[in-house]
Structure 1
Amino acid sequence: MRYFVAVAEELHFGRAATRLHMSQPPLSRAIKHLEADVGALLFARSPGGVTLTAVGAVLLDEARALLDHAERARVRVGAAAGVATLTVGILGDGTDPGVSRLAAAYRRRHPGIDIRVRNTDLTDPTCGLRAGAVDVALTRAPFDETALRVRALRTDPVGVVLRADDPLARRDRLRLAELNDRPWFRFPRGTDARWQSYWNGGRPREGPVVRTVHECLQAVLWNGTVGLAPLGHDLPAELAGVPLVDMAPSRMVAVWNEGDANPLIRSFLDVATAAFRH
């Protein structure tokens, strides 16, 4: 069901496989087996991607409900067994030093807590929080904060990522206007509008559609695409980051659902605030 929902939402086997962190052939086989079990085609396939059939649309509603029920059952069973679980969503690859400090500090404070981590790509800045897939997320603002609570952890300057042999890569700093004639990477249609606007420098852009940090860097390397990224992270030798003087800093934040009184979240926020101060 998780495989089916991923393909149904992406409408592309390759993108769904990337989202699921798996290769495409086993995903395609799993969907074919599901179609055999159902006795009907779930997707109409074409070279450009796939579309849901009428049967697939019905199954999508049921599959989402089943997955939601399974997650609720997992939480209830864990509570009955006396095992406290906290699911943390982390945007991107989770290599930020603050995340490592947080993990170590939280383990020391709560050695009996079962921490589950869900890494997500760049198309969902809330890391599955709205869908109930995580309890709390470590991510970057801005995004739509409706029905969410947000705590700022750190701010980072933002720069443009360029190929190292790009003439602009030799500059000490740049302005957004100097990049207006370049292709930029974009996120898929339906991505949070505030999030998309921020990483596009506040205006519509044209360029390749990407989902992950790796795809962003490859778009720069192969196509000369430009895009924004927080400074301070290591880049491959073939790429360079140049500070942008007129770009608002990126805010690293912890975010959780409004009204969620889980005490594990409150403790997590306290530890996270301390870990990201260093």
Structure 2
Amino acid sequence: MDTLETRELRYFLAVAEELHFGRAAERLGMAQPPLSRAIQQLERRLGVALLQRNRRGVALTDAGEILVHEGRAALDATTAAARRTRRAGGADRPGSSRTRLVLAVKAGSSHELLHKLLDAYAVEPDAAEIEVLPSGTCEQGEMLRDGRADVALMHAPFNSLTGFDSEELMTEGQIAILPAGHPLATRTALSLADVSDIPGLPLARWAHDGAYPPGPGPEIRDQTQLAQLIALGRTVAVFPDSARSWLWSEHAAVPLNDAPPVVTHLAWPAHSRSLALAGLIRTATRL
């Protein structure tokens, strides 16, 4: 049997993530015995063991590891299909018949470019409505995969473009954003080494893949929090040069002379056949 049901995948992934049938059943809102039977039935249909069960608990087999990876991608794809279908048909907003695209952007980045793109596209014949959805530093790819967004502004080398089609829009340098009164704020340029180890001013830490990187800097949830902590002299951050557009008077921006350039891409799922999206891409390439 080479077909899988989404219900089976949800059950298996819950067990694989919890590595405990009781916790997985509680998470799914069901009793443990039917969950165990469902996983056993799935293993019989596939002809492989997905889980190793012993007194110490549950562990994934090699085959189980493969299904975790493939199963997550498959569930993301079905979720994305449902979201985009509802959006295309207006089911997510009763009473509206206008085509809508959701554009995911990293909060505070590419501000001027985004303005130009939206203004240029708005005057196009049959332009769709664009909903701009701010996101965290590395969330745009996930939002494209699970259907929360149709298109995204992504930044190499920070965002992975694997699995997406894209158009390169802009290349820029990077800056360090410091408290305006800090001694380094008067410098004409800094290096990455300069900002990585400033006494009393650790680098801010953004969540990536659901976890914060190790380090002494504060865990940042959004741009407003970051801006306030920099102004208070609690942290320093590294951003593309276009981030100057949201700086406060209490901030200072200093170019980084050895940081790799940041390339802004307009990215979308490779399988997309949206005519509205095609129009937005044409506008972006003209810019």
How does the TM-score come out when normalised to structure 1?
A: 0.65
The range that moved more, 65-74 or 105-114, is 65-74
Q: Could you say which residue in structure 2 is the equivalent of 1:126?
A: 141
Moved over 3 A (4+): 53-56, 64-70
Is 1:222 aligned to residue 232 of structure 2? yes
Contact 1:127 1:139 in 2 (8 A): no
Q: 1:168 to 1:87 in 2, by over 3 A?
A: same
Is 1:141 aligned to residue 191 of structure 2? no
Structure 2 unaligned spans of 5+: 1-22, 30-71
Structure 1 unaligned spans of 5+: 1-52, 197-203
Summarize deviations over 1:219-267 as a string: whole Å, max 9, x none: 2222431110122423211110000000011112101111212232222
Match of residue 90, structure 1, among 99, 105, 108: 105
Q: Could you say which residue in structure 1 is the equivalent of 2:45?
A: none
What's the offset of the Cα at 1:126? 3.0
- 1:180 counterpart letter in structure 2: S
Q: 1:273 to 1:170 in 2, by over 3 A?
A: same
Q: Could you say which residue in structure 2 is the equivalent of 1:267?
A: 279
Q: Could you say which residue in structure 2 is the equivalent of 1:187?
A: 206
Q: Could you say which residue in structure 2 is the equivalent of 1:172?
A: 188
- 1:105 counterpart letter in structure 2: A
Q: 1:154 to 1:65 in 2, by over 3 A?
A: closer
Q: Could you say which residue in structure 1 is the equivalent of 2:125?
A: 110
- 1:220 counterpart letter in structure 2: I
Q: Could you say which residue in structure 1 is the equivalent of 2:83?
A: 71
Between Structure 1 and Structure 2, how many residues are aligned? 211
Summarize deviations over 1:143-188 as a string: whole Å, max 9, x none: 2222112221001211101111110000000111122323111112
Is 1:207 aligned to residue 217 of structure 2? yes
Taking only the aligned residue pairs, the percentage that are identical comes to: 27
Q: Could you say which residue in structure 2 is the equivalent of 1:26?
A: none
- 1:246 counterpart letter in structure 2: D
Q: 1:136 to 1:68 in 2, by over 3 A?
A: closer
Match of residue 249, structure 2, among 229, 237, 248: 237
Q: Which has the larger radius of gyration?
A: 2
Contact 1:89 1:137 in 2 (8 A): yes
How does the TM-score come out when normalised to structure 2?
A: 0.63
Q: Could you say which residue in structure 1 is the equivalent of 2:263?
A: 251
Q: 1:134 to 1:252 in 2, by over 3 A?
A: same
Q: 1:57 to 1:188 in 2, by over 3 A?
A: farther
Q: 1:236 to 1:149 in 2, by over 3 A?
A: same
- 2:146 counterpart letter in structure 1: A
State the superposition RMSD in angstroms. 3.3
